[in-house]
Amino acid sequence: MTDKLFGTDGIRSAAGAFPLDEASLLKLGAVIAALLPAPRVLIARDTRESGPAIESLLTRGLGRGARVSSAGVLTTPGLAFLTRELRFDLGVMISASHNPFSDNGIKIFSRRGEKLSALMENRISSAFAALKRVPGARPRPAAAIASDVYVDFLCRQGIELTGSLQKIAVDCANGAAAPLVPLLFRGLGLDVIPGFDRPDGRNINQGCGSTFPAALRELVRQNHAGLGIAFDGDADRVIFADARGRILAGDHSLFLIARYLRETEPRFNGKVVGTVMSNLGLERAFAGMGIEFLRADVGDKYVFRLMKKSGAILGGEPSGHVILRHRQPTGDGPLTALFLMKALRFFACDAAAALDQLSLYPQQTLDIRVRRKKELKGWEELQKASGRFARQYGRQARLLVRYSGTEPKVRVMIEARDQDTIEKNMPVFRSLLEKEIGE
């Protein structure tokens, strides 16, 4: 067992296992309640069957010292928006994002609707480790909070889409988008065909959602849709498909929305933030447009921190986690979908044309489950192999080896101008990693 709480995206583990076991959740609630005097805390969850029990335990841990409200099932960006808009001191989202139903997690937001700073995460971790016992105080009843304010906000962002005749297929991932997005799109007068919109507590992300693009392709094909949209379990990320089922992921969204913002948004400062995983083709396309492209570490909280530092209002990850900072301080799948559709309308093009406007380098990412996480920088054999790769291919290819922050996996990404480079080198790194640390 490990006492590490926070990964790249909050706290995450198998439901019922540390730190999502009963004792840990009670402790965590007590620690959160002690961050501020009598804090107002808003809690929401995605559709996992473990969500209500985790919410109940956290509320018990918060005790009578906190004033707790519950938004029930809601998207992560919806929770962040309501925390800021309704002036809560903290927002707590219970979700494991794109992970299977058996996992769950906790994301904590400040009163500004932002992910907690590293300093605050460390403060919570230290207090959690130091707390030995939680008093058994009975919590105050949680007040129910409706999501109408968030839906109204999204409607205002998409008002110019009203009357669009394009048929849109939407994969809700059997998650938090299911009760929200079809209602939103229909309210805008869009012709929406929802799919994977019947969550049962166990089918969240199961063969659907942004991490299973084949489901979106089939949904588009079956319904003869002009655009496909797929969210993950808590709808903080989104990918798209054109009428042929070709996928537009985060890099495509950044490219198209950046072009749109450059033409329509005075606050766009000519900078876009991506990550070390973002495609070289995107970086070079931005350079050709005179847009500065900055790279952060993997994780939306790192993207957001670099956005604040650079003044950028647009940033995101290839996974489809896009932040429109002038509207929301966190990744928002429905908001991103509205902006991408607005960009398509502004440029009078469809998703297929938008896809063809950006040429990405071939890129392959390999996930390897590991039995232990050996320090990568001090791993001599790995460093030698990486050095040989860099010397041989120079700026025509990139190699990135990193551990997942949310799962027991090591990820190898190779990107190159030609596919042969990837096919030649990926087996080398796969063999090296599996031999030393693979399960």
The CA distances from residue 263 to 252, 315, 387, in Å, are 17, 17, 42
Residues whose CB is less than 8 angstroms from the CB of residue 424 and which lie 6 or more positions away in sequence, other chains included: none
- Token readout for 54 is 């985790």
Q: Is the Cα torsion angle 87, 92, 93, 96 positive or negative in sign?
A: positive
- SS3 for 346-383 is HCCCCHHHHHHCCCCCCEEEEEEEECCCCCCCCCHHHH
Cα 30–32–33 angle (5° rounding)? Answer: 65
Q: Across the beta sheet with 103-109, what order do the strands follow?
A: 6-7, 10-14, 103-109, 90-94, 40-45, 67-73, 143-144
- Residues forming the active site: 97
User: What is the secondary structure of 146-161 as a DSSP string?
Assistant: -SHHHHHHHHHHTGGG
Residues whose CB is less than 8 angstroms from the CB of residue 26 and which lie 6 or more positions away in sequence, other chains included: 57, 60, 61, 134
The rounded distance, in Å, linking the Cα atoms of 429 and 431 is 5
- Token readout for 309 is 């530092």
Residues whose CB is less than 8 angstroms from the CB of residue 366 and which lie 6 or more positions away in sequence, other chains included: 411, 412, 413, 426, 429, 430
Residues whose CB is less than 8 angstroms from the CB of residue 331 and which lie 6 or more positions away in sequence, other chains included: 76, 77, 236, 237, 300, 316, 321, 322, 323
The rounded distance, in Å, linking the Cα atoms of 366 and 430 is 8
Residue 266 burial (CB < 10 Å; 0-12/13-18/19+)?
Answer: exposed
The rounded distance, in Å, linking the Cα atoms of 166 and 168 is 6
Question: Any idea of the CA torsion for 310, 313, 317, 318, to the nearest 10 degrees?
Answer: -120
